[in-house]
Structure 1
Amino acid sequence: MRSLLIAIPLLASAAAWAAPATTGGFVGEPPKPVTVEQARALPDDSPVVLQGRITKRLNHDNYEFQDKTGKITVEIDKHVWAGQTVAPKDQVEISGEVDKDLTSTEIDVKQLRLLH
């Protein structure tokens, strides 16, 4: 019975050392921002980073985003805001994917960050 009590803690300890690290970190160069005009020319599902302003709300999760080259609709789910409040005067950086269909091009935003 005594050897069983000793073996259990040793097995648990070995399992803890074998677990992979899950903290994440930097793995390469961050993507360079593109303009609205450039984003419109990219294929569907292309990853993009844009910098500009969210100028107005269009409906539930859709907003108008504008930079010096034009305007595009962006879809921003509630969790992406992450508690941030953004006004039309604020510069933001959005990261996401190009979402194209037959009649329109939008950006599905995965991350939003206020620029200072």
Structure 2
Amino acid sequence: MHKPLLALFTAALISLSANAQFEGPSDQVLISVKQIEQLSDDTDVVLEGRLVKKLKNENYLFEDQSGSITVEIDDEDFKGMKVTPDNVVRIEGEVETSLTKPTTVEVDRITVIK
């Protein structure tokens, strides 16, 4: 009789832990747009700067003190935030390189700093 209850409780705990995520400092180091040129495909990066323009679809021009780069941000990654060129944002994502296209950053997370 207790086995079904235990199974239900275990399933609930597993589903809760699958949705958990850490919301705090990480060991990732901020880099500049210029430094991305030396990085390989799929390298994790953290950038701080501004989204200065929407280019097309989910592509934006991101700019920091060293330069600019195209970033791809899925609409749902904004999570209802309103971001303008006046906002400083932190972008966490990975470098996307190609022989035929300019290097971009695929964004996993965006946070408004100020």
* Aligned length in residues: 108
Deviation of 1:16 (Å) = 4.1
SS at match of 2:37: helix
- Is 1:33 matched with 2:25? no
Match of 1:101 in 2: 98
Q: Distance in 1 between matches of 2:62 and 2:107?
A: 11
Deviation of 1:17 (Å) = 5.1
- Is 1:15 matched with 2:11? no
Letter in 1 for 2:20: G
**What is the aligned-residue identity percentage?**
34
- Is 1:74 matched with 2:66? no
What TM-score results when the alignment is normalised by the length of structure 1?
A: 0.82
What TM-score results when the alignment is normalised by the length of structure 2?
A: 0.83
Deviation of 1:99 (Å) = 0.5
In structure 2, list runs of 5 or more residues that go unmatched: none
Letter in 2 for 1:57: K
1:77–1:17 CA distance, 2 compared to 1 (3 A): closer
Residue number among 20, 24, 27 corresponding to 1:24 in the alignment = 20
Deviates more, 1:79-88 or 1:23-32: 23-32
Root mean square deviation of aligned Cα? 2.0
Match of 1:111 in 2: 109
Q: Distance in 2 between matches of 1:110 and 1:11?
A: 40
Q: Distance in 2 between matches of 1:112 and 1:101?
A: 23
Deviates more, 1:82-91 or 1:21-30: 21-30
Q: Distance in 1 between matches of 2:110 and 2:26?
A: 18
